Structures are given as structure tokens and as C-alpha cells.
A and B are shown apart, each in its own frame.
Chain A
Amino acid sequence: MSLVLIRQKARELHAKTRRQRLGTLTVPLVVAFFYAFCIKQFPQLRQVLYLLFTFALAWSLAGLYFLNRGKWTGEMPGDTGFSTGLEFCRREIERRRDYVRRGLLWSFGPVLLAIGTFLVALAIVAGTGIWSKAMPFMTLVVIWIGAYFVIRVRQERELQRAVDELSDVERENSR
């Protein structure tokens, strides 16, 4: 691979990093969308909605900071020539595990609050009759939330198992 191509790759990597950073804005944007939509549709509940959505928005913005901090402070493989394979693998898996864990708290949490607030506001304004009409949609939402949660928790456990396995190897190694 020529050095010209390598420098081009470096530029591509910077562009990709910028795109990924922009992508992390999705959660606050989703929350803001629900915020604006609910305020417009349910003006009678404005005071409560302001409170809940401001909290959800602040939560998601704080999440932006915490998620990005975890994501971008990780070393790139090119910075790790001093680490052995064992150290690198353990650190990398731990980083991924922490990222999944933080994702549930800082990304999934605010979205869940925004959707929940919207649904409760809808039920209050439209009356309980709305539940029977909205049942198919509600079922899908509940399945999505449940599946997302289960997949993430399973992923976190698997990563933890892999970390434990490597810690065992390290212990075995130092004997």
C-alpha cells in the first residue's frame, strides 16, 4: 500500500469520524421531535409535557456527552503497539461492554421516556378508548422496546463473559 493511499485513508477516516459524531445527534433529535409534536397536539397538557420533555431532552444531551466520551477516548489499534494481544483484547472488549451499558442508560432511556410521555398524553386527551384502536401499534412498540432491551442485555453479558475468560487467561499466565 503506497504512502499516498495511506494519507488518503487518513483523510477518509477523519471524514468518517465526523459523520459518526453527527450520527450521535439522532437521539436528541428524536426526543425533540416528540417534544414539538406533543406540545402542538396536546396544548392542554403543556405544563406537564414541558417538564417531562425538558428532562428527556436534558437526559439525551447529557447522554451525547457520556456516550461520545466513551466512544472517542478509546485507542485506535495503531496506538497500541506497546500492548500485548491479551491486554488489547481485554481492554477493547471492556470498552465495548461499557459502551453497550451506557447506551441503555443514556440513549435508550430518554427515547423510552419520550415515547412513554407521548403515549400517556395521547391516552389522557383521547380517553381510554384509544387503547383498543391503538393496540396493534402499541403491541409493536412494546415488542420493539422489549427486544431491544433483551438484545442489549444479552450482548453485555456475552462481552462480560469474554472479559472474564481473558482475565482467567491472565491469571493462569501469571502463575
Chain B
Amino acid sequence: MESISTVRASQDDFYKDAVEKYGSSLHRLASAYEADPDKRRDLSQDIHFQLWRSFQRYDARCSLRTWTYRVAHHVAASYVMRERRIFSTLVSLEELETIGDKDQGQLAAEQRLNVKRLSVLIQRLKPLDRQVIISWLEGMDAASIGEITGLSPGNVAVRVHRIKNILTLRFGQGGGYAE
């Protein structure tokens, strides 16, 4: 039987390994879920804390990357549900496509602003759609995204395509300014 200190040591090792490999992705993930810097810092700390806790149970049944992203997305999704007490303030893809924008027509010149606008648009998506597009933006393929979200690769491909189209359309219309 493994001693507690051995379990703790491997938990710490897994955590360090995950942070070393995916630390910057986790930071970007937190940014895609929360715009406010203070709240984002809290969310980021929560993600790290829950990730460390999760490695008590990690048995390498799935890859370290899948595990890390799953836990991180779960923490962030849970946070979104807690923060937005009324779930309907988040929109489905169909709604996002048709929502009007006060600043329609304005186009941002600076890339930083564009990234911010994209984040604002992503932050309006429901957790599952967010998980899909954030993972896709991290360069994952449909199979890996499917492992994290539980969607079939075909379903992931369809969703990525739809989200991309809608974000492109909304972006072109000037959507994503602080709404």
C-alpha cells in the first residue's frame, strides 16, 4: 500500500509537470473565461488549486494534457455558473448570431483590441461551446477536444465550424466591444 507521503509526492510531481507544460495555456484559459483582472487571478488560483487536488486521483488512464484541460475547464465552467446566477445571460450560438450590437460597424485597428473583442465574444458563449473553441484556439484537433468535452470528433468539427463562422461574422460586424 502506498504511503501518504508517496502519494503526496507524486501528486506534487504531476502538478509541477502539468504547470510546466500547460501553465501558459491555463493562463489563457482563465482569460477566456473572465475579463476582470482581479477575478481572473482568483479563477486562475482556483484552477491551480483544483488541479493540484485532482492529481490525488490521477491514474494515467488519460493523457496528462486531457486531464489538465478537463479539470481546468470544469473549474472555469463551475465558476461561470456560480457567477451568472441566471443561466440565460449566456447565449447559445443561434442567439449570438442574431444579437444586435450597439457599436455595429466599428472596426478595431489594433490587434490587442481585437484579442479583447474576441475574448468578449467567447465569454458570452455557454460553457461547452467555450470549451470547444478555447481548446481549438490552443491548437488541439477534434479527437483531443472530444476527449476533453465528451463530444464526438464529428460533433466537435461541426461546432468549431459554426462557432468560427459566427465569431467571424460578429467580429466583422463590430461585435465584442464591452457589451
Contact = CB atoms under 8 A, between A and B. Distances in A.
Contacts of A9: 45-46, 48-49
A78 interface: yes
Given A83-B74, A85-B70, A78 B150 contact: no
Interface stretch (A54-62, A124-132, A161-169): A161-169
Nearest to B52: A6
B50 A77 contact: yes
A76 B149 contact: no
Given A3-B12, A78-B50, A93-B87, A85 B74 contact: yes
Nearest to A160: B87
Contacts of A158: 86-88
B14 to A, nearest CB: 11
A76 B50 contact: yes
A154 B85 CA distance: 11
B54 interface: yes
B149 A81 contact: no
A3 B128 contact: no
Interface residues of A, number: 35
Contacts of A96: 81
A77 B71 contact: yes
B121 to A, nearest CB: 19
A158 to B, nearest CB: 5
Contacts of A13: 49
B92 interface: yes
Contacts of A92: 77-78, 81
A1 B48 contact: yes
Contacts of B150: 83-87, 173
Given A1-B19, A9-B49, A93-B81, A77 B151 contact: no
A81 B87 contact: no
27 contacts: A1-B44, A5-B45, A9-B46, A9-B49, A10-B53, A77-B75, A77-B77, A78-B50, A78-B51, A78-B71, A82-B61, A83-B74, A84-B147, A84-B148, A84-B149, A85-B70, A86-B149, A86-B151, A88-B74, A93-B87, A155-B85, A159-B87, A162-B87, A165-B92, A166-B128, A169-B128, A173-B152
Interface of B: 12, 15, 19, 44-46, 48-54, 57-58, 61-62, 67, 70-71, 73-75, 77-78, 81, 85-88, 92, 126-128, 131, 147-152, 155
